[in-house]
Amino acid sequence: MNVAAVGEVFAATGWRFWVAIVLVSWVLLAAAVTFLVGRSARLFDQEERRLQSHRGATAIHTQAHIAPRPDVGGRRRILIVDDDPSLRLLLRTTFDAGEFAVEEAASAETAADVARFWRPSVVILDIRLPGMDGIAFCRQLKRDPERSPIVILLTGAENGDLEAKAAGADGILRKPFSPLELLGLVDRLTGSAHQLFVEAPRPDEEQILLYARDLARLVDVERSQRRLLQHAYRETVTALADALEAKDPLTGLHAFRVQRYALELTEAVDSGLLDDPSLEYGFLLHDVGKIGLPDRIVNKPGPLTKDELRIVQQHPVVGAELLAGVALLRGEGLRVVRSHHERWDGDGYPDHIAEAEIPIGARIFAVADALDAMTSDRPYRGAIPWEAAAEEIVAQTGRQFDPGVVAAFARREGRLRELCEVQHAVGGRS
């Protein structure tokens, strides 16, 4: 990007304010959702877990013990030590609910380095490890009672309680175990008192039923979490679009209208593209780079000068850079933001790519964008009739637009015209 152009784009009055407001809102919203989901994942069915999760687990009563206070955003620090990557993944997933900070290690030697600097409050430790075994490492962790973490040993053996107790372990859990069983044991051991209890192992059939029950509940929690996050994403994206509308009401309403046209066209071109959730957000935020444009250019009633046009043509790059770090937009959505002004014949901008080099989402959007631009009032001209706009789109087949997308437009013209009438009647947000 030309240095002078960058200077003008980023000298725009007020755009940093809107970006800051939106980003702060995003962070606060994401934090609130993460906290609520974490609480729900840990607290659901707490009464039943309190009654059942201890079965098959042995908490070993030791001297009075206060775990190191967590200081990672108020979350308990959990260190997982096991040489089985799949089990570490399961345990990390079990504790990845907003209330825990989790680190992992494949050996006692690696775990010792982590513990030295990270100070975990709970160590979940497999007894059988390469090199130093879990019993020896437990004994090492417990050398300083005032600084030692709570240690839960994992074992597949039927015995070993005495050895674990002698090493200073706070609890022992026999494999296989339920994720909720482990959560319950951690909750009890990090509470105000340790309780001694020993239960006979449950029959295999009961263990399988408990696994099935826990799995169903964890899946339900995961689905609820996904719904909450999707809702938060939608609200954040809408806030960004509203920020753009506050700068330029015409462009802002255009974003909502053109998103509807583009989604309708996508359904006609390839409905499978809609499986990428970033696409609809890319449609809505395609012009977010215009937040940095000077008002004198955005609202100019006449044609732009060459220098002004050069500045405007940088908005896809600015928009893509603004959104590059947003996970929600990674995929076809971010490609739409950067490439929505490319042309089939290669005469577009900013990258001057052509035909199949242009991302499919951007090719679809180009038709939807032109359709709304022609059928809406702009500062420099009035709207043209639908029939004239449709004829112009067909006339640009193979030049400005992908022939396949234009064919899809022809198949859906009636539906798109209905959408146009409704969108303009209600202000673009239906």
DSSP string covering 351-369, please? S---GGGS-HHHHHHHHHH
Average pLDDT of the residues in 253-272:
90
85 versus 355: which is more confidently predicted? Answer: 355
Of the pLDDT bands very low, low, confident and very high (cuts 50, 70, 90), residue 378 is: confident
Nearest CA among 285, 287, 357 for reference residue 328: 285
Tokens of 124: 């979940």
Long-range CB contact pairs, 261-264, < 8 A, 24+: 261/368, 261/371, 261/372, 261/416, 261/419, 261/420, 262/364, 262/365, 262/368, 262/369, 264/412, 264/415, 264/416, 264/419
Tokens of 424: 């303009």
Average pLDDT of the residues in 168-191:
82
Give yes or no for a contact between 124 and 79, defined as CB atoms under 8 angstroms apart: yes
Q: Is the dihedral of CA 112, 113, 114, 120 positive or negative?
A: positive
Of the pLDDT bands very low, low, confident and very high (cuts 50, 70, 90), residue 109 is: very high
Strands (E), 192-349: none
174 versus 381: which is more confidently predicted? Answer: 174
Of the pLDDT bands very low, low, confident and very high (cuts 50, 70, 90), residue 298 is: confident
Nearest CA among 253, 314, 324 for reference residue 282: 324
Under CATH, to which class is 3-28+222-426 assigned? mainly alpha
What DSSP state is assigned to residue 80? E
Report which residue type is found at 61. H
d(CA 403, CA 182): 58
Report which residue type is found at 71. D
Q: In what order do the strands lie in the sheet with 122-126?
A: 57-59, 171-174, 150-155, 122-126, 76-81, 100-105
How high is the pLDDT of residue 100? 82
User: Taking the mean position of all CA atoms in its chain, how far away is CA 298?
Assistant: 32
- Least confident range of 204-208, 260-264, 337-341: 204-208
Nearest CA among 169, 162, 187 for reference residue 126: 169
409 versus 93: which is more confidently predicted? Answer: 409
Average pLDDT of the residues in 400-416:
95
d(CA 172, CA 125): 9
d(CA 74, CA 221): 22
Average pLDDT of the residues in 252-281:
89
Average pLDDT, the chain: 76
Tokens of 192: 């105000």
How high is the pLDDT of residue 430? 47
Distances (CA, A) of 319 to 45, 154, 359: 45, 50, 16
Exposure on the CB side of residue 259, measured as CA atoms within 13 A:
24
How high is the pLDDT of residue 237? 65
- Least confident range of 14-18, 129-133, 246-250, 424-428: 14-18
Q: Does domain 56-201 have CATH number 3.90.550.10?
A: no
What pTM was computed for the model?
0.50
How high is the pLDDT of residue 179? 75
**Confidence check: pLDDT of 62 > 60:** no
**Confidence check: pLDDT of 239 > 70:** no
How high is the pLDDT of residue 25? 54
What percent of the chain clears pLDDT 90, i.e. is strictly above it?
31
Phi, psi of 171 (to 5 degrees): -160, 160
Q: Tell me how many degrees the CA angle 367-328-332 measures, rounded to the nearest 5.
A: 35
Phi, psi of 105 (to 5 degrees): -150, 150
Q: Where in the chain are the domains?
A: 3-28+222-426, 56-201
Average pLDDT of the residues in 98-112:
87
Q: In which residue are the tokens 């004239």 written?
A: 388
The count of other CB atoms within 10 Å of the CB of residue 383 is 15
302 versus 127: which is more confidently predicted? Answer: 127
Phi, psi of 309 (to 5 degrees): -65, -40
**Confidence check: pLDDT of 60 > 60:** no
Report which residue type is found at 36. L
Average pLDDT of the residues in 300-318:
87
